[in-house]
């Protein structure tokens, strides 16, 4: 198995390589940085022009692979290599490379418009997240670390997919000798006078969410204890806030943290979660995020 890294020829941002190597230090597997360059059309009419285009693309690919190899060289303990391939679609080509190279995680960086230390999905990474059958790890812009993965935080919603994800992430945290944290994110609008738009009934619903979240967390605690994950190796937390920014900021994040979120195949569309709460969590997360499709991880 491998970590396949999507390495942009013109981004010159080693964040994705940095994250892949961090993961490889904690769970050793080879890291392959893949640069995708445009493929020529191969039509007889444009044969001459197409040949020139392919030579240009090959030069771009070789330059990008050399940059990726230099970035990988910053991590001499990691088994890393860099290649370039031609393709018409970057996301589709990366998905093909992930399948061909038996990737268990596909690693990408953030969009250029992201603030330093934050994540933004580009149209290409958004397609990867919604199309990949393997987990997609996204590095914050400018991500650097000297730490392995020391703590894995899993977003927990108390549905079937969350329980399956929790089981698999718990096993991975044990293999990586990383602490496990189970977080339920709960957005609670600020309480207002009864004359405001927030009715008494809505307040009761919000309070019920808190009770249900606490009950689910207690059940998760007992479940993890039954797996032998006890003591300081596991923590559970309900992150409440008036909005998603406040809820995510209410969690203590440190170097060595990785956040894992899942999308559920039991929803009408797997994109439902990614299009609502998960996308908001990703936007405010100050650490790398791993998006797991359905229950596929490990």
Cα 129 off chain centre by: 8
Average pLDDT for the chain: 86
Statement: residue 16 has pLDDT above 90: yes
Question: Residue 196's pLDDT band (boundaries 50, 70, 90)?
Answer: low
How many helices (H) and strands (E) would you count in the chain?
A: 9, 10
The two three-digit tokens of residue 162, written as one number: 């969350």
Q: Report whether 64 contacts 37 (CB < 8 A).
A: yes
Q: Report whether 124 contacts 93 (CB < 8 A).
A: no
pLDDT, residue 298, reads 45
The two three-digit tokens of residue 286, written as one number: 């100050």
Q: What letter would DSSP give residue 115?
A: P
Question: Residue 224's pLDDT band (boundaries 50, 70, 90)?
Answer: very high
Residues 126-136, mean pLDDT to the nearest whole number: 90
> What is the side-by-side strand order in the sheet with 257-263?
80-87, 31-38, 2-6, 103-108, 136-138, 289-293, 257-263, 151-155, 179-187, 234-241
Per-residue CA distances from 108 to 45, 60, 75, 126, 289 (Å) = 37, 19, 17, 11, 10
- What is the DSSP annotation of 163-200? HHHHHHHHHHHHHTT-EEEEEEEEE-PPP--TTSSS-H
CA atoms of 250 and 225, how far apart (whole Å): 25
What per-residue string of b and e applies to 156-173 under the rule 16 or more CB within 10 Å gives b? bbeeebbbbbbbbbbebb
pLDDT, residue 192, reads 53
pLDDT digits (tens, 9 = 90+) for 44-65: 545 556 788 888 889 999 999 9
pTM of the model: 0.87
Q: Which domains does the chain have, with CATH numbers?
A: 2-138 (3.40.50.620), 151-293 (3.40.50.620)
Closest CA to 237 of 211, 217, 219: 217
Statement: residue 267 has pLDDT above 70: no
- The residues, any chain, with a CB within 8 Å of residue 293's CB and separated by 6 or more, are 132, 133, 134, 135, 136, 262, 263, 265, 270
Statement: residue 234 has pLDDT above 80: yes
Torsion over CA: 139, 142, 143, 144 (sign):
positive
């Amino acid at each position: 198995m491998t970590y396949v890294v999507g390495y942009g020829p013109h981004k010159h941002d080693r964040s994705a390589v940095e994250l892949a190597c961090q993961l490889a230090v904690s769970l050793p597997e080879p890291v392959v940085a893949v640069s995708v360059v445009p493929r020529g059309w191969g039509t007889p009419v444009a044969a001459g022009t197409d040949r020139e285009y392919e030579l240009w693309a090959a030069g771009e690919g070789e330059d990008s692979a050399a940059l990726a190899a230099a970035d990988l060289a910053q991590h001499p303990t990691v088994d890393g290599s860099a290649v370039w391939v031609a393709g018409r679609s970057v996301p589709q080509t990366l998905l093909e490379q992930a399948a061909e190279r038996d990737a268990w995680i596909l690693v990408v960086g953030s969009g250029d418009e992201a603030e330093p230390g934050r994540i933004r999905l580009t149209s290409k990474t958004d397609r990867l997240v919604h199309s990949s059958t393997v987990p997609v790890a996204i590095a914050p812009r400018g991500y650097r670390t000297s730490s392995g993965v020391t703590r894995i935080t899993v977003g927990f919603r108390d549905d079937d997919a969350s329980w399956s994800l929790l089981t698999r992430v718990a096993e991975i945290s044990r293999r990586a000798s990383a602490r496990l944290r189970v977080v339920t994110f709960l957005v609670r609008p600020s309480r207002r006078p009864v004359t405001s738009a927030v009715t008494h009934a809505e307040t009761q619903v919000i309070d019920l969410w808190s009770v249900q979240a606490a009950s689910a967390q207690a059940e998760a605690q007992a479940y993890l204890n039954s797996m032998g994950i006890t003591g300081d190796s596991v923590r559970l937390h309900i992150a409440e806030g008036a909005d998603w920014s406040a809820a995510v900021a209410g969690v203590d994040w440190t170097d060595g943290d990785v956040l894992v979120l899942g999308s559920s195949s039991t929803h009408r569309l797997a994109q439902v979660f990614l299009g609502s709460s998960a996308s908001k969590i990703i936007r405010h997360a100050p650490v790398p995020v791993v998006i797991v499709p359905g229950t596929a991880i490990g």
